[in-house]
Chain A
Amino acid sequence: MKNLTTLAFGLTLLATTPVMAELLDLEKDELTFGFIKLTDMAPLAVAYENGYFEDEGLFVTLQAQANWKVLLDGVIGGQLDGAHMLAGQPLAATIGYGTKAHIITPFSMDLNGNGITVSNEIWEQMKPNVALMDDGRPQHPISASALKPVVDSYRDAGKPFNMGMVFPVSTHNYELRYWLAAGGLLPGYYSPGDTSGQIGAEVLLSVTPPPQMPATMEAGTIYGYSVGEPWNQQAVFKGIGVPVITDYELWKNNPEKVFGISAEFAEANPNTTIALTKALIRAAIWLDDNDNANREEAVEILSRSEYVGADEEVIANSMTGTFEYEKGDTREVPDFNVFFRYNATYPFYSDAIWYLTQMRRWGQIAEPKSDAWFIDTAKDVYKPEIYLQAARMLVDEGLADEADFPWDSDGFKAPTPAGDVIDGIGYDGKAPNAYLESLPIGLKGDQTVVGNEVKG
């Protein structure tokens, strides 16, 4: 079977390899890209290993980075020409939360791909509050309300309840907060004078680099965490924790990582920017081709020590459309990792705006902002025009399908229906302030955090 697929793949390659496409006039052809060891860096590894970068005349070095801060500083400082980034990073850098620098993104990397895991001990305490299906397995999705009594008992005993996430402006932080708040737990606010994000918190969140999550939980420093794959499945394999929810169940097909470059770089090297976007789009197409037929091969690539380096079976667990919660409780999640379907790679303004609303919701954006500000900021960072230029060239070269791209989109996804979100609150990117009003916990309207209080 495997031979057949490789044969088929070889044939398609033969059929689609351009004879010698007219190369863009590249301003810079030796590039260094950073990434963090997570499965969603796959488009970078695939573009390198399948020679898509080379086809564009790019000579790329891929470098694993220690953590998100180092990676961001690398892109700002110019040691890295671009990187696999958290969607919140270019936005936060551009509005000056943390390090100020204008970073843009021409390419969204994927949808979904994260999970929230708790340690075995916490899972045992949560289990009595989780509804069961007829076959005795837990009913998914599990709400954080099942965790609430556990957190309360810890607080009564005077013990802080700690959980980990990967970066203050990470999707994982916002997803963990969303899940906790939807279950009635307060994850704490940020304020200009206090960037710990623990003001008024019932659950204390702290930063841990993704690959160290399992080890940190094992050491008892945190009781659970929100992180991308393979670090949730790793906890199952090591027998140290249980993933309770995937972000697909939290918000169906939510936007995840982006590929970030500095605005300066894009301005100085417009053709290079288009060329690298082309290579990444081709990688994304390959990853989702014929219903994930190439995923096994992608898993093998990712398991090499220079990329993610975890065991093949751990990576395969989520990459091939299943997800294991408790040991042995494996369920189908066909869209756990989406790299191209549903316009996953198009940088939608509405995705950027959702991240900005979460920054506002938890006080990272301290002052109230108008709807126009949200939209303008999104347009400052997300660059669908570059993406469409690259896509157009690929279609002309016969490497992509005209029908796969939203040529006429205004940059906004259709509003997310309430049924696709765990707490039944829909999201429309065109009305960010109205969306903030609709969320029960979090800052809205003119509210600000002063000292330890929400005012306004």
Chain B
Amino acid sequence: MTAIDPSTLDSEARRARLFTRINKADAWFQVLGLAWVTPMLKAAAGDNPRAQLGDIWRLLGVPLLAIALFLGAWATLAPTVQTSLGAIPGPAQVWKEAGDLHQDARRTWKKEAAFYERQDARNAKLIKAGRSEDVKERIYTGQPTYYQQIFTSIKTVFFGFLIASAIAIPLGIMAGLSVTANAALNPLIQIFKPVSPLAWLPIVTMIVSAVYTTNNGLFSKSFLVSAITVTLCSLWPTLINTALGVASIDKDLVSVSKVLKMNTWTKITKLVLPSALPLIFTGLRLSLGVGWMVLIAAEMLAQNPGLGKFVWDEFQNGSSQSLAKIMVAVFTIGIIGFLLDRVMFALQSMFTFSAQR
């Protein structure tokens, strides 16, 4: 019977606490796509560095190597393809063009500042001349910068996606709870789901033009057209997954609700939603992905402001930098799509109960 040195005990406990913390944080790193941080922390905390190195290699080394290989292949192969707009740009040109786009944005900001200065000077003059009723405060009307285009697209996709979710989740719950509703909705879903956004676009444009006749309302027409097109295409994954999630609730839970004589509302909020949430979120993630893809196409075709229009305008410009600029847009679109997916994944981890309830 040797007494355990209390200090060792202490440090053991500390280490255990530290590792618990690291493991807790790991869940978040997973969500953020930073899974490789965990083994690093563990190694730093003194866990078997060998095993951790293996993890680091798998989670960080391999992806970095793959990206490096991709860039290398791109840089060597791109100049060998000659298009009428010059050779396909390599990573270096694309990077330079990204810088140019930033310079363009800065130029626009400068012009904007100058515009407001001129406006203030004009207004000051008018006030001096005693014509204060002629003073005008107007918003600058230059070209949107690349950052504004990105922001416009994100705004549009979320607006369309929210409308889609507001329609799809209730309908999905209905279809999941009642066999009749399911039978009614099923053929419609089957027919409309495969329709391409570009086929909806002319119809949406016509309807919006006919119904939304003001030219100075809350939303611009182009914004509505893009958003509604996104809605029409990103409805379906949410709808189908919600219906599936609701239909596959544990039978015991349904029996419980019968025993407790729950009314429908309570049943939905207390039973149906919590247990269907994982699938609903899967649907939402798919929807947002689809919506983002559709939006770029819709913007391209309808020339609505946003990244899609940027790509099309650059294609039409046909200057020697056009291809590189389009590639910058492609990467932007890809990265934003990835981030949107991560955001949804994070929300899902926050809202859904763990699987081992």
Contact = CB atoms under 8 A, between A and B. Distances in A.
Interface in B304-349: 312-320, 322, 325
A78 B215 contact: yes
Interface stretch (B28-36, B135-143, B172-180): B135-143
B47 interface: no
A258 B303 CA distance: 23
A238 B136 contact: no
A64 B318 contact: no
Given A29-B136, A65-B303, A239-B84, A37 B312 contact: no
Interface string A67-80: 00010000001110
Q: How large, as a class, is the contact surface on chain B?
A: 20 to 34
B104 interface: yes
Contacts of A214: 84, 318
B111 to A, nearest CB: 9
24 contacts: A37-B316, A37-B317, A60-B141, A65-B303, A66-B302, A66-B312, A70-B303, A78-B215, A79-B222, A209-B316, A211-B316, A215-B84, A238-B84, A238-B85, A303-B319, A305-B314, A305-B319, A306-B143, A309-B313, A309-B314, A309-B316, A309-B317, A310-B317, A314-B319
Given A20-B125, A29-B136, A212 B316 contact: yes
B118 interface: yes
Interface of B: 84-85, 104, 115, 118, 125, 129, 134, 136, 138-139, 141-143, 209, 215, 221-222, 301-303, 312-320, 322, 325
A37 B315 CA distance: 12
Nearest to A49: B111
Given A29-B136, A310-B319, A305 B84 contact: no
Given A59-B138, A305-B314, A309-B313, A218 B118 contact: no
B320 A311 contact: yes
Contacts of B325: 305
A310 B303 CA distance: 19
Decide if the interface of chain B is mainly helix, strand, loop or mixed.
helix
Contacts of A310: 317-319
Contacts of B221: 79
B81 to A, nearest CB: 14
B84 A64 contact: no
Contacts of A57: 136
B125 A305 contact: no
Contacts of A64: 303, 313, 316
Decide if the interface of chain A is mainly helix, strand, loop or mixed.
loop
A79 B319 contact: no
A234 B134 CA distance: 47
A291 B278 CA distance: 72
A305 B317 contact: yes
Contacts of A215: 84, 318
A237 B115 CA distance: 37
A29 B319 contact: no
A65 B129 CA distance: 41
A61 interface: yes
B215 A79 contact: yes
A65 B141 CA distance: 17
B209 A240 contact: no
Nearest to B104: A305
A420 interface: no
A385 interface: no
Interface string A37-64: 1000000000000010010010111101
A30 interface: yes
A308 interface: yes
Nearest to B107: A304
Nearest to A313: B320
Contacts of A314: 319
- The 5 tightest CB contacts between A and B, nearest first, are A309-B317, A306-B143, A211-B316, A238-B84, A61-B141
A305 B316 CA distance: 10
Given A20-B129, A234-B318, A311-B320, 17 more contacts: A29-B136, A30-B141, A37-B316, A51-B118, A54-B118, A62-B143, A66-B302, A79-B221, A212-B316, A214-B84, A238-B85, A305-B314, A306-B143, A309-B313, A309-B318, A310-B317, A314-B319
A51 B312 CA distance: 28
B148 to A, nearest CB: 12
Nearest to B115: A54
Contact of A305 (B141, B302, B313): B313
Contacts of A37: 316-317
A61 B303 CA distance: 15
